[in-house]
A and B are shown apart, each in its own frame.
Chain A
């Protein structure tokens, strides 16, 4: 068995990115993702990489745009208010079909909000965040191990589909320490990037990285084409975990730290004989619609456990065509639901009572 190392979630992301071949990191200080930058600042100079503290999140994401244009694996990380600033760049990356890896270790909002864990950027992440029609592949790790493994996966997905992939973690995932197996991380080399602006060497026509299409017919065409690509992503890249769903009549939907809290509640409910399970989306976009749709055949109540005012619950309702009963079990502003709160909602649902 491979040796494990004890790491913070934020550090696991940084080390996994290096393992994935990322040699360029740009960031701007913000809590609670600081360790990603600190780790990169120490490591990158020693392995011939670039760590650069940009003048703003806006500059950082545009530096990412530059490195990605040059065909190299690149990342930035931030937390909620910083991701809002990066959203301009996220839209341009999508418009120019550039691969990039972005980390959002969420904190409570809106505005300056707080610095404690949150999942309230779900809409922003799964709907793109910036202007225009686009998506990012959004991963929601629920352990430090997944912070690492999904980081590697995110780089590969970004390159494969020429789009931004995001780790949507919360402050808990970023700050908690767990043993991680880094040795077993498997990395596929980056594909050829003939579109990259690496200099023509006077051997080919010039490459142009661009998101401007003044002719509406052209802009419509590239949007349609991009969404065809998104369909492939939806077909191939959905990830989720099912927990005790075989005979479940109640289904908890939760990701990240909310899923870990929910597991405790589900175990306690099972001991009381309640048939409850969990679907944990690992990709928030593409959302595991089919597994929810199938679950709705035998589940009477879905309990969405979220650190938000109820964002993922909308996707659960859409996937299950509003056929079941739906309960939001939430805490916000940096608060985390306790297993007792989740258990109480499960027990109430088991009674068939209105919540």
Chain B
């Protein structure tokens, strides 16, 4: 008897992610949601630029690779072309909260009926560990070698806190994937973000606090601890906005 299997929406190919990176977990949670709603055949995913750029090879649904930061605009186009389709973006912190900030904020302000999965690991992974808009004060990166000096380069961007102030945003939650309890909560949140879209409720964004052992210079285990000790205190988990009980605003 099979008690544990790969989700059908996830391709049966090796992922390129580093050992201990939590992208794989989040990919799985997204794929499980797609399976559970049985929407693979009408789902279109938008991959970002960054570590998860090749997500288009990992999901079995139709996939589009967007320019850096532009995934919410591309998703807007896909969704407007056929609102019966389920459209999600999968973006990192540099993509979503730096270069793509305008696209993110305005997709939320429009209450675009899409699902955004936002991976916050406080660093640019693909290019080798530069300071991200979400890098913590004092965090050492390749481009903040003496630690992020807030006097020099400002403060981290708290995406959930910011977007939850927008009238357009429907559902904004921050989760983490560094232990079983958090993964279960993340799974529930991601599923709800898809459910909202299926029900026509509008813009849902799940920020997933993730690890980058390679560029943090930590072992995979210590990276998960670092999430508890450093990341979550700065980026508290929880629901920042949820209008989903108030019914459908979109016509």
List residues of chain A with CB under 8 Å of any chain B CB.
24, 26, 50, 52, 54-56, 58-60, 62-72, 74, 88-89, 92, 96, 197-203, 206-212
A201 vs B40: C-alpha distance when bound (angstroms): 7
Which of chain A's residues have a CB closer than 8 A to the CB of B67? 62, 65, 88-89, 92
Q: B81 within 8 Å of A by Cβ?
A: yes
List the one stretch of B52-60, B117-125, B148-156, B164-172 in contact with chain A. Answer: B52-60
User: Known: A55-B106, A88-B67, A198-B82. Contact between A64 and B62, CB under 8 A?
Assistant: no
List residues of chain B with CB under 8 Å of any chain A CB.
40-44, 46, 53-54, 56-57, 59-67, 70, 73-82, 85, 102-103, 105-106
Contact between chains at A202 and B73 (CB < 8 Å): no
A203 vs B40: C-alpha distance when bound (angstroms): 11
A sample of 18 inter-chain contacts (CB < 8 A) reads: A50-B80, A52-B80, A54-B106, A58-B73, A59-B70, A59-B76, A60-B73, A64-B77, A66-B74, A67-B81, A70-B44, A70-B77, A89-B67, A199-B43, A206-B59, A206-B60, A210-B65, A212-B53
Q: Kindly report which residue of chain B lies nearest to residue A199, judged by CB atoms.
A: B42
User: Known: A59-B70, A63-B76. Contact between A211 and B82, CB under 8 A?
Assistant: no
B65 interface neighbour in A55, A70, A211, Cβ under 8 Å: A211
A71 vs B78: C-alpha distance when bound (angstroms): 9
A212 vs B42: C-alpha distance when bound (angstroms): 24
Contact between chains at A209 and B80 (CB < 8 Å): no
Closest chain A CB from B215 CB (angstroms): 20
B106 interface neighbour in A59, A202, A210, Cβ under 8 Å: A59
Most chain A CB within 10 A, of B57, B59, B81, is at: B81
Which of chain B's residues have a CB closer than 8 A to the CB of A65? 64, 66-67, 70, 73-74, 77
A209 vs B106: C-alpha distance when bound (angstroms): 24
B76 interface neighbour in A52, A56, A89, A198, Cβ under 8 Å: A52
Closest 3 pairs between A and B when the two form their complex, measured CB to CB = A66-B77, A62-B73, A70-B81
Which of chain A's residues have a CB closer than 8 A to the CB of B64? 65-66, 69, 197, 208-210
Contact between chains at A208 and B41 (CB < 8 Å): no
Which of chain B's residues have a CB closer than 8 A to the CB of A89? 67, 70
Which of chain B's residues have a CB closer than 8 A to the CB of A92? 66-67
Which of chain B's residues have a CB closer than 8 A to the CB of A212? 53-54, 65
Q: Kindly report which residue of chain A lies nearest to residue B56, judged by CB atoms.
A: A208
Contact between chains at A200 and B80 (CB < 8 Å): no
Closest chain A CB from B9 CB (angstroms): 10
Q: Kindly report which residue of chain A lies nearest to residue B77, judged by CB atoms.
A: A66
Contact between chains at B53 and A70 (CB < 8 Å): no
Most chain B CB within 10 A, of A50, A58, A197, is at: A197
Closest chain A CB from B20 CB (angstroms): 23
Contact between chains at A208 and B65 (CB < 8 Å): yes
A199 interface neighbour in B53, B62, B65, B74, Cβ under 8 Å: B62
Contact between chains at A58 and B61 (CB < 8 Å): no
Contact between chains at B78 and A62 (CB < 8 Å): no
Contact between chains at A62 and B63 (CB < 8 Å): no
Contact between chains at A66 and B76 (CB < 8 Å): yes
Closest chain A CB from B46 CB (angstroms): 8
Closest chain A CB from B241 CB (angstroms): 20
A62 interface neighbour in B57, B61, B70, Cβ under 8 Å: B70
A136 vs B244: C-alpha distance when bound (angstroms): 44
Which of chain A's residues have a CB closer than 8 A to the CB of B40? 200, 202
Contact between chains at A199 and B41 (CB < 8 Å): yes
Closest chain A CB from B81 CB (angstroms): 4
Contact between chains at A197 and B44 (CB < 8 Å): yes
Which of chain B's residues have a CB closer than 8 A to the CB of A56? 102
User: Known: A62-B67, A63-B74, A88-B67. Contact between A199 and B81, CB under 8 A?
Assistant: no
4 extra A-B contacts, CB within 8 A, seeds A52-B76, A59-B76, A198-B62: A69-B77, A70-B77, A197-B78, A200-B62
Most chain B CB within 10 A, of A56, A59, A66, A92, is at: A66
Q: Kindly report which residue of chain A lies nearest to residue B68, judged by CB atoms.
A: A88
Contact between chains at A201 and B42 (CB < 8 Å): yes
Contact between chains at A67 and B78 (CB < 8 Å): yes
Most chain A CB within 10 A, of B41, B75, B76, B82, is at: B76
Which of chain B's residues have a CB closer than 8 A to the CB of A59? 70, 73, 76, 102-103, 106
Contact between chains at A209 and B81 (CB < 8 Å): no
Contact between chains at A206 and B103 (CB < 8 Å): no
Which of chain B's residues have a CB closer than 8 A to the CB of A200? 40-41, 60-62
Which of chain B's residues have a CB closer than 8 A to the CB of A69? 44, 64, 74, 77-78
Q: Kindly report which residue of chain A lies nearest to residue B73, judged by CB atoms.
A: A62
Most chain A CB within 10 A, of B54, B73, B106, is at: B73
User: Known: A55-B103, A199-B42. Contact between A63 and B65, CB under 8 A?
Assistant: no
Contact between chains at A62 and B66 (CB < 8 Å): yes
